[in-house]
Amino acid sequence: MLLGELAGIENDSDVTGFALDHRKVARGNIFGAFRGSRFNGEDFIPEAVKRGAAAVVARPEAVVEGAIHLAADEPRKLFAELAARFFAPFPETIVAVTGTNGKTSTVELTRQIWRMAGHRSASIGTLGVTTADDQVKTGLTTPDIVTFLSNMAGLKRMGISHVAYEASSHGLDQYRAEGVPVKAAAFTNLSRDHLDYHPNMDAYFAAKMRLFDEVVQGNGTAVVWTGDPKSKSVIEHAKRRGLTLVTVGPGAETIELISRQSTPLGQQLLLRHDGKEHALSLPLIGAYQMNNVLTAAGLALATGGDWAPTLLAMGRVSPVRGRLERAVISRAGAPVYVDYAHTPDAVEAAIAALRPHVDGRLITVLGAGGDRDEGKRPEMGAVAARLSDVVIVTDDNPRSENPTTIRRAVLAGAPGAQEIGDRREAIAAAVAMAKAGDIVLVAGKGHEQGQIIGDRVLPFDDVTVARECAA
C-alpha cells in the first residue's frame, strides 16, 4: 500500500516529511500529536496545522481541524508505520538488543565483529551512531522515531549493510524503535531500573518483550543470554512467536560457556559450539563483558556469520567507551577505571569485574541521577559498601533535584561511606588516596561528556577529570 493511500492523502509526493515538534512542521508534513509525561502534543495541533501539516496522527478523541485526522488508539504506532514507509529503504541486516545492562556494549561489539567479517556496519544507541569512520551523538539510548528512521535511511545511503541498535524499554513502550526489518533480537539481562517510568518490574519486563513479541520479524531469531533469571521467560516469548532460538552462556545450546578464568589483561574462556570445545583469550576484563561479547557473537551467527571468523573476531574486540574503560594509572601506580554503572546490578558487576585484579583496596566513587528511580539509590550504596573497601558518595546528574537529597539516599545504604558532593573533588580524593595495588572505580557517568545540574549541562568527562587528577 502506498504511503498516500495509507495516510488518506491522494499523492505520495504531497507528503514532505514527518515532525514531532510543532515548531519544526513544514508544509506537507505529517505531525505526530502524542500525550507525554510533560506535554500533550494534542495541544499544539492548531499550530502544526497553521504551519502546513497535511495530516495529524492522534487519538480518535483529539480535535483536528484544517488537516486530515489519522486516528488511532495507538497513534505512536501508526505514526511509526507511516514514517517507515516514507524513509525506507533501510540496511539489509538489522538487529536490536534489549536488557537493563549491556545494550551499549553488545551493539558496539556486534558492529566490531561484523566489521572484522568484512561487512560495512554501524551501531545506534547511547554512544550515538557509530561506524568504522565516525561517531555522531544522538543524546538518547533510543532516539525519537523520526531521528531513528532518518538515521537508518542515511546509513543505507552510506552503503552500510549491517546495523545493531539498542532497544530501550522507553523506546519500545513509545514505539520509537519501529518500522525497520529486524532480523534478530537479543536479550542481555533484567534488573531494577526505570521504575520512575514503569509502574513495576512486570511492566518494565513486558515493555522489553515487545521486541520479541512484535518488533522482530516473524521469521527472525531471538538471541538470549542464559545466565539471567529472566532468560527462561524470554525463551518462552520467542518460542510462542515461532522465532529461531540462539542461546549463549552457561548451559546454552549455541555457544556454551564451560569455564572462565581472569587474566591480568582480560579473561580466558572455554566455549563449546557445535559439539566442539574452543579456547578464547578475551581482551576485556569482567564477567559482564564476556556476557556482552558472547551475545554479540550470537547475533553475528544469527545473521549469517560463520563460527571460525566470529571466534577469531571475539579475541580481537576493542573496549567500549566508558565501559570499564581504564582512564589512567596514577603516579602511585593505581589504575583508575570509569564505568557507566548506574543500577545496583551494574555497580555489582563492575566491582566484581575489577576485584580479581585488586591486590590492595578497591575504592569506588559513585552517585545517582536525579529525576530517576529513587528506590535504587540506597541499593546502589549498599552494593558499593558491601563489595568495596572504600566508598565515596558524590553527585552524578542531579538534574532538577537537590543533590544533597540524592546523596543522602545513597548514603542510607552505605552509612560508612565518605561524602564529597563535588564530583571532581571526589575523583581527586579517590586518586590521591590510592596506592600501588589499589584500583579506583568511578561509576555512573561512563562516556557522558556533561553533568546535568538544573537546566544546565556543564562540561564534565570522568575520564578526562581522572587523568587531570592523576597528573
Find out whether 76 is annotated in a ligand binding site: no
Question: How far apart, in whole angstroms, are the C-alpha atoms of residue 83 and residue 272?
Answer: 43
Find out whether 267 is annotated in a ligand binding site: no
Question: How far apart, in whole angstroms, are the C-alpha atoms of residue 100 and residue 277?
Answer: 30
Residue 130 and residue 122 in contact, taking contact as beta carbons nearer than 8 Å? yes
Find out whether 462 is annotated in a ligand binding site: no
Find out whether 208 is annotated in a ligand binding site: no
Find out whether 396 is annotated in a ligand binding site: yes
Find out whether 104 is annotated in a ligand binding site: yes
* Nearest by Cα to 82 from 13, 156, 2: 2
Find out whether 394 is annotated in a ligand binding site: no
Find out whether 240 is annotated in a ligand binding site: no
Find out whether 176 is annotated in a ligand binding site: yes
* Nearest by Cα to 177 from 102, 108, 76, 85: 76
Question: How far apart, in whole angstroms, are the C-alpha atoms of residue 310 and residue 223?
Answer: 15
| Concatenated DSSP letters of 56-96 | EEE-TTS---SSEEEE-SSHHHHHHHHHHHHH----SEEEE
Find out whether 372 is annotated in a ligand binding site: yes
Question: How far apart, in whole angstroms, are the C-alpha atoms of residue 31 and residue 43?
Answer: 12
| Concatenated DSSP letters of 149-193 | HHHHHHHHHTT--EEEEE--HHHHHTT-S-SS-EEEEEE----S-
Question: How far apart, in whole angstroms, are the C-alpha atoms of residue 403 and residue 106?
Answer: 32
Find out whether 367 is annotated in a ligand binding site: no
| Concatenated DSSP letters of 104-127 | HHHHHHHHHHHHHTT--EEEEETT
Find out whether 155 is annotated in a ligand binding site: no
Find out whether 397 is annotated in a ligand binding site: yes
Find out whether 100 is annotated in a ligand binding site: yes
| Concatenated DSSP letters of 336-355 | EEEE---SHHHHHHHHHHHG
Vertex 145, ends 70 and 168: CA angle to 5°? Answer: 125
Find out whether 343 is annotated in a ligand binding site: no
User: Which phi and psi angles does 420 have, rounded to 5°?
Assistant: -135, 105
Beta sheet of 255-263, edge-to-edge order: 135-136, 128-131, 121-125, 162-166, 93-98, 182-187, 216-225, 244-249, 255-263, 266-273, 276-282
Find out whether 102 is annotated in a ligand binding site: yes
What are the binding residues for ATP? 99-105
What are the binding residues for meso-2,6-diaminopimelate? 372, 396-399, 444, 448
What are the binding residues? 20, 99-105, 141-142, 168, 174, 176, 372, 396-399, 444, 448
